Structure 1
């Protein structure tokens, strides 16, 4: 340990250790950073010291909201980087996936992800180990409204029975009450989509009314996501009981059943939806959601009696740029919809059409919304966005706003190329550039990507169609590791065991047996910390101490 603390250099038998682009701040740096954050905060859209949810919507103080998907690591990176430009956060943590109304979370740590009961034996099971700890460590002023939806990761579930059953709704409300009391939450976001409104409209409005009474009695707020341009939806009734409706002004063309390739939110379609929404939703209860994502539609040819179909899957803005790079296709800015578009042929010679929205479409849409008196916006969603959006997010009406979009940072995703478990960092992020054309009204009518931004690129190597490598993490375990070794010995096979240093030291006889029977031993740190949230010096120490233990 003395040698490790002295930081004597280790041999490098493996690829050089890669780390996240974060580092621990010294105390003086922390003080400077804190002061810089305060200066930035003073330059944002906020004009008062009121908490965000207490500000009247669509006044000159434009509140900003964002949706967060915990299954996307890039989302947390965006949240951490742009937290001071977000007032209201809607994290997708809660789900109703059956007509019993039980509140579910999704365990993203296993594959495939599985739902679990959020309320277990009267206690609240954690759904988050990142967002709330981060916000507690940073004085951002952001307010969190956990989102509950009826999406299981693949489909929107019919919950008509739940909505129409007063007793089941009552149990659901009790579960919501317990959950919201478990941390410093400010209310609830309800996002029930693809509802059978012929069967469940009345039950849906009843639930919103009941939730509104429950939340308001505790000083909490109720937000509701609502579809755009749906004449069957009870906009007025919902607005009558909710604190705000978030108009999902996107998915003009969508990836689900019946969806076809096309713009995500063409400019005229977007503006017309706002005109219609203002007729049924009071302006002081209207939040306009702005899209920054895309769909990659694969054109599947006719097969027998099955007609040709477009099969779409979600794509981030960075995904679209990478597809343009790999296919050597241009990003076309469609003159009719004012949405960017890419088409290409994949390795199976199937046509793909990617339609997406970016910072240019966001600026056009925010400016159009402001002309209609709407100044409150929500981003769908963190992690998938064109990050140059954040340069204009606070002040889209500034004369200089379009020029701020010329420098284009890469997305938060990592570009993984190749196959295999051996990873090599092959490129670090570089910014791209764009040129734009404006008409006399300030509308951006064309954009040209002069160069595409590049994210981190990691090469994957070692895959073989006829061989597998067996690895085990986190041991040695006194119960299971000997049994695994017995099976490997019986089958004349070996494996690689990535050991935790403290465990290897504690069960040294098992560690010795691992080595003596021809297995490989890998370094899995000494105490198994979350290295994405651990200072670089501590990470080096963890690895160094463990390496010297093995030596």
Structure 2
């Protein structure tokens, strides 16, 4: 007699079979690798003539341009990331590059190798040919610009690179996971750059120029290879004195002031450089007023002094006509000014140029540095020492670019004073901590062999009356006499490294942070501690006689 199969049991078996099938399908869909191909045009997000740019394997927001069979990169990006010395004169439409011994220029019509343009003006921007960039920049590149998804990989670091060998064929995917779309195929024995390693996946760059993820188990022989640069960097040779520098600035505001030099120097000890304020810019076309004197130079040389003529942008009434960002932004004007200064050197025989450009706007920064580069070329050819005056480093004056100054100029001078200035809060002109901070922050950017620290031969008398604060600069002897005449008691303050005093007079409440031989001696100790190239005092004639005993190098 046959048994009837239970309908419920049959239904259960059917359902079980369906569950197993569903689980199988689910498992297949979840765990089996996808063969979906990545949309490369979307991945690189580039138009037909655009080139995706990667720096040290990181994708950049900017795009290059592919034209006439070669790749061009935007100059702004090149300046910010690879080489800041490519200077574009937007007013005269010139590309300018200052080499140690010459200044080279080009424009949009200039041809490079094979008759192709070395730069493009396009989309309100300037683009430089990759070959041009490589000629002047220590980088290595991999270019993939022959296909639809054009891209370029630029590296400017030279640390060891992790490399692995592909042990068997595999897929490079957009993300780590077998369900991620495939970018390209990776073949056995291919070498890949390993950018990141995770538990099961590694981020790599393949030989056909794609970055994505592949399984760790398909990689072997992980090791490091150190790239070798074949770039020969230009050598910006410098002129330096064979002794420590003891310099003074000599403020010359009228021609007759030149005659006082001998008498003023006679009161000093150990000075070997004098910097008279002779040349002041007078307009935006590179013209200037001059108080230079040949007899001054001859007398200084007879006394064993070098003469570094000061060129400034602020010291006379005529300077109000000068907008440095305007003046320095035209290549023809910079060239004319530099040529004129070289003629002055021939005429008067001075030994160097001391640049003192103050109160620059940030917009002037890139033009100012280019001016220094170009001036350094002419000075180098003539054997003139080029020194550049700078404020104590601070975020607001970072655009003075001391690092570049320290490469192309001979000396970088810190104006280690005006910590507190007319129109600001009362305080020391140059506290010891302020001076040391200025030295240390400059040494982060400039070799000590090129750094000269400027010290003040003056102080400020601060007066507060009816809620208003005013000040006046005073030489050392004058300040000391004022304190004595007004019975100001001076007390040494270790926190600033100066004597401090305050007294009430009929003019109001007076405050004084005294600069004297003791305070300057401490500043000189800092100059020696950090083994700087020299010291300079502003200004000759304001110092007390006894400061020369502490300003000595011995």
User: Pairwise mapping of residues 255-404 of structure 1 onto structure 2 (< 5 A)?
Assistant: 255=422, 257=423, 259-302=424-467, 308=468, 310-347=469-506, 349-374=507-532, 376-395=534-553
Classify the secondary structure of the residue corresponding to 1:144: strand
Q: Which residue number corresponds to residue 175 of structure 1?
A: 340
C-alpha displacement of 1:393: 2.1
Alignment check: 8 A CA contact 2:306 2:351 kept:
yes
Q: Which residue number corresponds to residue 375 of structure 2?
A: 211
Alignment of 1:236 with 2:403, yes or no, is yes
Alignment check: 8 A CA contact 1:75 1:382 kept:
no
Alignment check: 8 A CA contact 2:240 2:410 kept:
no
Alignment check: 8 A CA contact 2:527 2:534 kept:
no
Aligned residue-pair number: 309
1:440-467: CA deviation from partner (whole Å, max 9, x where unpaired):
xxxxxxxxxxxxxxxxxxxxxxxxxxxx
C-alpha displacement of 1:383: 0.6
C-alpha displacement of 1:71: 4.3
Instruction: Report the Cα distance in structure 2 between the residues aligned to 1:276 and 1:356, rounded to whole angstroms.
Output: 25
Which of 185, 189, 201 aligns to 2:365? It is 201
Compute the RMSD of aligned alpha carbons: 2.6
Alignment of 1:251 with 2:418, yes or no, is yes
Instruction: Report the Cα distance in structure 2 between the residues aligned to 1:132 and 1:54, rounded to whole angstroms.
Output: 19
Instruction: Report the Cα distance in structure 2 between the residues aligned to 1:210 and 1:230, rounded to whole angstroms.
Output: 25
C-alpha displacement of 1:270: 1.3
Classify the secondary structure of the residue corresponding to 1:217: helix
User: Can you give the 5+ residue segments of structure 2 that lack an aligned partner in the other structure?
Assistant: 1-237
Q: Which residue number corresponds to residue 470 of structure 1?
A: none
Alignment check: 8 A CA contact 2:310 2:355 kept:
yes
Instruction: Report the Cα distance in structure 2 between the residues aligned to 1:384 and 1:130, rounded to whole angstroms.
Output: 24
Instruction: Report the Cα distance in structure 2 between the residues aligned to 1:387 and 1:239, rounded to whole angstroms.
Output: 33
Taking a change above 3 Å as real, the CA distance of residues 78 and 353 of structure 1, as seen in their structure-2 partners, is farther
1:283-327: CA deviation from partner (whole Å, max 9, x where unpaired):
12111112221112232434xxxxx3x222221011101211221
Instruction: Report the Cα distance in structure 1 between the residues aligned to 2:513 and 2:253, rounded to whole angstroms.
Output: 23
Alignment check: 8 A CA contact 1:362 1:389 kept:
yes
1:263-299: CA deviation from partner (whole Å, max 9, x where unpaired):
1111122112211111101112111112221112232
The normalised TM-score by structure 2 is 0.52
Which of 315, 322, 330 aligns to 1:152? It is 315
Taking a change above 3 Å as real, the CA distance of residues 355 and 63 of structure 1, as seen in their structure-2 partners, is same
Q: Which residue number corresponds to residue 186 of structure 1?
A: 351
Alignment check: 8 A CA contact 2:449 2:532 kept:
no
Alignment of 1:66 with 2:254, yes or no, is no
Classify the secondary structure of the residue corresponding to 1:85: coil
Instruction: Report the Cα distance in structure 2 between the residues aligned to 1:53 and 1:295, rounded to whole angstroms.
Output: 36
Instruction: Report the Cα distance in structure 2 between the residues aligned to 1:86 and 1:189, rounded to whole angstroms.
Output: 16
Instruction: Report the Cα distance in structure 1 between the residues aligned to 2:477 and 2:239, rounded to whole angstroms.
Output: 32
Higher relative contact order, structure no. (Cα contacts within 8 Å, ≥ 6 residues apart):
1
Instruction: Report the Cα distance in structure 1 between the residues aligned to 2:484 and 2:416, rounded to whole angstroms.
Output: 29
Classify the secondary structure of the residue corresponding to 2:479: helix
Instruction: Report the Cα distance in structure 1 between the residues aligned to 2:474 and 2:266, rounded to whole angstroms.
Output: 21
1:47-67: CA deviation from partner (whole Å, max 9, x where unpaired):
xxxxx96435xxxx4221111
C-alpha displacement of 1:77: 6.3
